[in-house]
Structure 1
Amino acid sequence: MTDQEWTEVHALSGAYAVDALDDLEKARFEQHLHRCAECRAEVDSLREAAAVMSVDDVAPPSSLRADVLAGIEQIRPLPPLTTPEPTQVGTGRRVELKRRWSSAPLLVAAALVLVALAATAWIRPWQGGSSDELTAAERVIQADDVQRAAQRFADGSKATVYLSRSEGRAVVKTDDMALAPAGKVYELWLQTPEGVMERAGLMPDESDTTYLLEGDASDATGVGITVEPDGGSDQPTTTPILLVDLSA
């Protein structure tokens, strides 16, 4: 292996630690990893750092990858501190080439920190952050004009309705709610000022959920939940199990 090839393969340690290599690069680096103690130590160290900075597994926004890649382009990847393989010279005498201390571990660690901080800032926005960082449901729940009403059922479960006129949306949050009977589904409704019930979506088959209702809730006077056949109905076919008056 030439000195240039030796340098290039070491530069892959950071990308390998965060599983960012393609199949060919990964196979090449893993062959090298078996005989390079320095790279094994660096990969272990970077993986520990990434684990410490890990966040909840959620889907990031499409802009995050582009932002991170744009930042990485400004960092020149350098190999870790290593002692290269001995190189044969013309006399037959083996000469070991010593490499100076490299700043690569610090650069790669810094890149990992930037990625983790960028993801954390999006996934867990700090108090007072931009409203663009919140989900649509969170914007409704945290809106200044939010109306909130809760109903507790006989089995102890609870459903809470949030409505924001400024956001024009409503949210239903359930806690320990019994699942819909077999062949049935919970359907959500927005009640208009004329008393008409408009379809607003089918609730997920989950006991604890936060669901953003479909449709414009700017003028809604109520939110209801009925039990309907699988697939839902165009109009309620049963008496609502929940009907919250939001006309005030």
Structure 2
Amino acid sequence: MSTLDLHRLTGAHALHALPDDENVTFERHLSRCEPCREEAAELRATAARLGLAAATTPSPALREHVLRRITTVRQEVPGTTDGALPVHAGRRARLLSRWVLAACLAATAALGGTAVWEHQRAEDAGERARRAAGTADEIAAVLAAPDARTRAARLGGGATGAVVVSRELDRAVFVVSGMTRPPGGRVYQLWFDDFGRMRPAGLMDPGRNDQVVLLRGAVDGASGMGITVEPEGGSRAPTTGPVALMTLPA
């Protein structure tokens, strides 16, 4: 598989549509290719954003049909026969890939909005449902905001993350994929970085590798966000060094 072929796999990787052998090869490529890392993280955030837009029940064959059609879409740059692309052609190929991916993600959105994960169980099922619905609405509002901006980054342990910020709503959403689960009795805690002072911003689900989390509280001019490993229930201030630090998009 050529490097050019690998650059085209960001969309399929974001949709978890790669066969195991190709996924292993592409993960190795991601460790060396920053543009692909950033694009894959941004596309996962886009998938989550589109996933929130629909909750219709598709036919069982829809996913297989979409993935089969992907293989028939032309992505070669006209006039290119080898693995090397001039700068302008590379940009054109990247744009074409985004158009193809957008169509695939639109179809994926009909698969039920799987990007929003259920929060911790509550004893009262009705209350849990109301809370989950309210959180989903807030996440959707941030992701769909006209001023929403995304910053993607590679996290430790092979995970990738993206933070989406709406300054108008003063809220932020964190999308993560491939996060290693914390040790027993511990949890990942999110923080707003107020120019060096860390402010609690909620907890991640310790049982999920992939999730979308609404950061608790207002952005309120924060410069970035961080993640630490804390005792169950969280801490008022970080008790360990950061697992990850990310600058918020302007």
- Give the TM-score normalised by the residue count of structure 1: 0.44
Give the structure, 1 or 2, with the largest relative contact order (CA under 8 Å, sep 6 or more): 2
- Give the TM-score normalised by the residue count of structure 2: 0.44
Bigger Cα Rg = 1
Instruction: Kindly indicate which of the two structures has a greater share of residues assigned to helix.
Output: 2
